[in-house]
Copies of this chain bind each other. A is one copy, B any other.
């Protein structure tokens, strides 16, 4: 059964997942679908107007240290961003409006790398255009298209779907209705998908 990877570009633990999920799913023979959504509206509906890692500083301090250990173990570069969280809505609209394009996984990884390995501002349309151009895509044209009302609606509906299905954080993996939350559940989610495929 297909594995859905629900992610938000501001989500720290989604970064190591984004870097390794495609290879791991392929190795297991599990089909992968990339599902961008926005955590902001979900957090707001729980009364949070900032990342819980900022609202609860002890948890935030732990998260950065834990992420450092994880990335070190996985050999994934990490630079603590000078701004957190960064607004990933432009990048999310590209991932949503260009869903299924063969270069999308590379684009998603490039944006995560910019945020968490290069400390660059992914809220900046210029940066997102650069990421697209580097993949041979017409950056400004795709960004303009992604901001048409029907494309904005598409991402909004996907965010509503996330909430309706019980998603409350990222990364989240869905295999049918079975939910797995957190980078540390990737292996379990893939194993579940493989069992349901066989």
Contacts and interface: CB of A to CB of B under 8 A. Distances in A.
B167 A69 contact: no
Contacts of A61: 166
Nearest to A63: B181
Given A65-B179, A179-B65, A181-B66, A166 B46 contact: no
Contacts of A62: 166, 168, 179, 181
A68 to B, nearest CB: 11
Given A69-B188, A188-B69, A59 B168 contact: yes
Contacts of A59: 168-169
Contact of A56 (B46, B69, B184): B46
Nearest to A184: B184
How many copies the complex holds: the figure is: 2
A191 B181 CA distance: 24
A155 to B, nearest CB: 20
A58 interface: yes
Nearest to A45: B58
A12 to B, nearest CB: 14
A62 B184 CA distance: 15
Contacts of A58: 166-168
A69 B181 CA distance: 13
Interface string A152-168: 00000000000000111
Interface of A: 46, 56, 58-59, 61-62, 65-66, 69, 166-169, 179-182, 184-185, 188
Given A58-B167, A182-B184, 11 more contacts: A56-B168, A58-B166, A59-B168, A59-B169, A61-B166, A62-B166, A62-B181, A66-B180, A66-B181, A66-B185, A69-B188
In the complex, the 10 A-B pairs of residues with the closest C-beta atoms, listed nearest first: A58-B168, A184-B184, A58-B166, A59-B168, A62-B181, A62-B179, A46-B56, A61-B166, A56-B168, A62-B166
